[in-house]
A and B are shown apart, each in its own frame.
Chain A
């Protein structure tokens, strides 16, 4: 039997990174094929190549046994491939029907035959058991319904190979169940589904076959038989990284950060995290483990001050900072390394010295309450450059001229030279090269030995185990386990992260 999709030796390079490195992927007809991997493992890039949104630099593609090259999504659509994007591609102010027929409108002399379109839509919806009202404005729909519209949009065009890019990322558990039912129905109807996910329990529940990507390479392809979540976690994370081990404990009794009963709600008022209690001492690194999207981001935002706390308190050195502004928190000694340095960490168009002053603009030597002290800021930036080995021709170049690793070193330098007492670091080594990674680990370790308290969120389990003094695990917005890094392996951690293993409450406290 010919495979529905066969990708051979796909390589895609972006400036400074190899996103896909000789990737092979074979998807059989009529199966649900999961592609797992960490963020940055190259899953999305691979799918964009398959859907014709980006050309591959090397490699060949075959659809139903026929060699193909795509120069735009239209080509992929012609071959029966449809993609449901992670971020919905829907216009809020258009009706469901308009969103669906767009690009494939039945027309007479340019006038849309709405009646015919609606009939065809009703047919497709009935065939796959997907109910939807064509006249609703998309803005009135729930997230799950929007996803259904996206899927119908693809089916409306007659696609029989569906790519679902992290479809569960935005859904609550009940909606995930509904989606999985839809997927099974599609499969029964003969469709082939490629499905990207990094929530391992979901992958194991729905997939027929699994392909794991790591650092742009295919690590394994296997049928979903006898595979366990810890197996997958190990494959996804790997263990060839330099080890980030810390030396002897520097943990003190002095409490730096104390979070009690914390809860944060999303826009719809649903609690995304709840009942969070945690304490970080001076000289301690508290690691937060968890599959992405289980509330780590919200916890970090709440502590830093960019998310609205609905319940509970946050104390820094005994002072309640729950209602303080971000600036006041930073002035009180809080430092922050954000998850996405381009989005939240740096101004890419601004020179390095301005970036170094960000967040400290009201404090010496960068400035005073009203004015920026250019000379002071530049001097301090030079110092960061030297101390943290930021490789740049000078401090007046704009931040986007630096490589990711050097941007991160500048950012970490900025946060650590302000003599903070509490550091919140989210994925501090994500997307940077191995050398820079080791440097960042060194910086964090040094600061720890000088008494800095650190809250470390990371998806890199080796990093967590190596750096942390204590690890807590987050699952579905709750802290579910408290572990000692000396006794835990990435495999165990994976089991807690997916809920496969649990701790009784006494231990978790």
Chain B
């Protein structure tokens, strides 16, 4: 473990991922499902993860500035509607931009309420979450004569990576390396190839932009003046003020960026995934983005990992009609919980270790006693995962110290 921890992050994370896939492969080989490492699973994972990640990253900007943003869901919905409307009216790229503006307006509203008027952050956020679906319903009815659905939107489309996933270069179809490896059905190697191919073939442009946002945000937060001042707004605004930083301004910027990113996530759902605006299609991904933010410890890379993890479970569930894959996942849970128990024990956190052991044994018993799991289980699994993560890792998490606290200029 110690040698592993000494590795730089860029080397460590791929190793974690490979270990995770190995676990999935082993579990899969003793279960009656092939879906744990299927191309479709990883494709669905990415499709789910992108809006979750964008919402979570939005939450990061807001909470790093000290404003809790539970209104992400509402901003995502605004993005869905405005994205669809923009896409229908002005074309796909403009649609995304207009979706971002729609979400940004939600962010602006939240900033006005929480920063200028010091409304409780949760109350303002909940208000936005109630307001957004109602507003979009009204607007849909006015514009499209249907409260719930829009006409077809235009998509900015996707891209197949050449050579690895058979993309075309100037009309020439390149070889599809990962497909040929996947088709060989080599143990483990083909599983990796399939999962990778799901990510690299039919990759939405928005997904690529989202991934690029990870290093960009890290750089912005930790290397620039903007980032430092944004962080002081969330850590100790009075200290920033005493050193001449205009805290109010940074809080506004943080919350508006938050809305813009959630809006992009929403526009992605309506224009790229569904191909139309449909009320309820957000499926709570704004809230799950918030969970990914907590899972990711308010760091861009962590938010991405959280989003992919939740996306995986959602994506798997989507294709798992008979419940066999979710059943196999129980075994994965068992192993993961055993790992947690061992980790907790090494830190002398006995209560956590006992709890993890009990849950792990429970999961194992269930796996042994049933062939499939009922539908409701796969539906709630992502949320159970969120809860477990929070239970076991909350103590290691470090939220911005002044997150959610009211701030008034000139008061210490």
Contacts and interface: CB of A to CB of B under 8 A. Distances in A.
Interface string B164-191: 0000000000000000000000000000
B239 A99 contact: yes
A91 B235 contact: yes
B231 interface: yes
Contacts of B410: 53-54
B225 A112 contact: yes
Contact of B238 (A89, A98, A99, A101): A89
A89 to B, nearest CB: 4
A74 B398 CA distance: 31
Contacts of B223: 111-112, 114
Interface in B237-289: 238-245
A73 B225 contact: no
Nearest to A106: B225
Question: Chain B interface: which size bin?
Answer: 20 to 34
A107 interface: yes
A110 interface: yes
B244 A91 contact: no
A438 B85 CA distance: 72
A72 interface: yes
B350 interface: no
B228 A105 contact: yes
B29 interface: no
B232 A73 contact: no
Interface string B103-126: 000000000000000000000000
A489 interface: no
A85 B228 CA distance: 21
Contacts of B412: 85, 87
Contacts of A102: 228-229, 232, 239-240, 243, 245
A92 interface: yes
Nearest to B236: A91
A90 B244 CA distance: 14
A110 B410 CA distance: 26
B400 A93 contact: yes
Contacts of B236: 89-92
A74 B235 contact: no
A317 B241 CA distance: 52
A105 B225 contact: yes
A233 B243 CA distance: 35
A54 B224 CA distance: 31
Contacts of A303: none
A114 B242 CA distance: 21
Nearest to A103: B243
Interface in B313-330: none
A44 to B, nearest CB: 10
B377 interface: no
Given A111-B224, A112-B224, A91 B231 contact: yes
Nearest to B412: A87
B225 A91 contact: no
Given A72-B244, A111-B224, 8 more contacts: A53-B410, A83-B242, A91-B231, A91-B232, A102-B240, A110-B225, A111-B223, A112-B225
Interface of A: 53-54, 72-74, 77, 83, 85, 87, 89-94, 98-99, 101-105, 107, 110-112, 114, 153
- The list of the 5 closest CB pairs from A to B, nearest first, reads A103-B243, A91-B235, A89-B239, A74-B244, A91-B236
